[in-house]
Structure 1
Amino acid sequence: MNERIICSKNLKNGLKVDFCEHGNRYFGDYHQVKVTVRCRIDLTTELVSPRVSVDDLEKARKFFGASIEYRKLLRQMGVAGADVEKVQSELIENFAKNALQYMESNDFAARFVARQLANRKERSRVLVNLHD
């Protein structure tokens, strides 16, 4: 997948959010505008908190490596070629207005890591139950 970074935003909590474009033209002059929101979270001891224990951090490193990435796909279909950049900007502005405040909170990274670990644990439990 060939992604081009449209813009980046540095958050108050030290995280950086990248907005990457990778849409395509699918019929005539109609485009699918796709913007992926990416935010890399390094799995460092700074994450240890009431939400993420030292053991949780070790599990996260085992499953995900040195970092984990928040990803969100923003998409709009049927965009005329002349409006692609405008729609990209609108998608980014709407996301920024609705989600960046949450992502800027000091405990966002720990909450995200805890949620990903819980999701992984739930998937593992479902797979074990399927094989029982």
Structure 2
Amino acid sequence: PIYGVNLPQHFILGYVNEFDWMPLLKFNDASSLLDGSGSEIMFYINPFNKGIIFNKDNIIQFLQQLKIEPNGEYFKTCSNKDILLRILRNLETSYAAENNTSKLELVSQLVAILFSNKEA
């Protein structure tokens, strides 16, 4: 299965060899938003560059180019909640740049809801 990986300034995917069916069994359970995070990754996929495959060393090089210290979290899968928060934050930035205050307010409310539910 493929999971999200939360790199700074770039969202990528990671292939995990083992699969846990439990998140599928509790599809409607809010705690399933956290499932899948922290798994060991066999290889990485860049969905924004034709699905090119790369490894941990390539991520280290990318981080060095950005002058960012490698962090163990950058090499692990992230939760569904992390992905949602990242998408919503990107939308906040876009709407703020466009001065679209009505959409910015709606997205900010969604972010607040996700942050307020720390268990999910």
TM-score range normalised by the length of the shorter chain: under 0.3
Name the larger-Rg structure. 1
